[in-house]
Amino acid sequence: MSLHWGKLVENGRAKAVGVPWNEEELHARIVLKIPAEYVRDGILTKEAYEKTIKSGDKPIFVMTKLELTAMANRLKIQYSPSTPRSELLSLVARAKEKSNIGNSITPQSADIPTAGQEE
């Protein structure tokens, strides 16, 4: 019998498809009860979780497509309105690794594309 990794990830029981939680991440998930999306973003202590919640920083894994487009605009990422959320997530994650931009979304009106706006 094989594991259904997609369901495990969806339910927060695995870090990613084919990737189980390491011990520190598992401790954060089970003992500290930190949501999977935050642990996937490297938040492993209760203090870091509470600080993140208070600061308004949101892991990119839980951002809506609209929030990801605002982040993509801040990072000068080219995309089209038909770009799926999953691809935006990947593009933003890679671009964030190369920059020091935070996750806090305080989009200005210019950051959020209107319907039909091409980037």
More reliable by pLDDT, 107 or 17:
17
Instruction: Check: CB of residue 70 under 8 Å from CB of residue 107.
Output: yes
What is the reported pLDDT for 114?
45
When the pLDDT of each residue in the chain is averaged and rounded to a whole number, the result is 82
pLDDT at residue 115 in the model? 42
Per the document, the length of the chain is 119
Query: Does pTM surpass 0.95?
Result: no
Domain boundaries, the chain: 5-55, 60-111
Q: What is the DSSP string of 32-55?
A: S---HHHHHTT--SHHHHHHHHHH
pLDDT tens-place string over residues 6-52: 888 888 888 888 999 999 999 999 999 999 988 988 899 999 999 98
The confidence band for 101, taking pLDDT boundaries of 50, 70 and 90, is low
DSSP 19: B
Q: What are 49's two structure tokens?
A: 């979780």
Q: Which of 9, 5, 84, 64 is nearest to 39 (CA)?
A: 9
Contact indicator for 76, 63 with CB cutoff of 8 Å: no
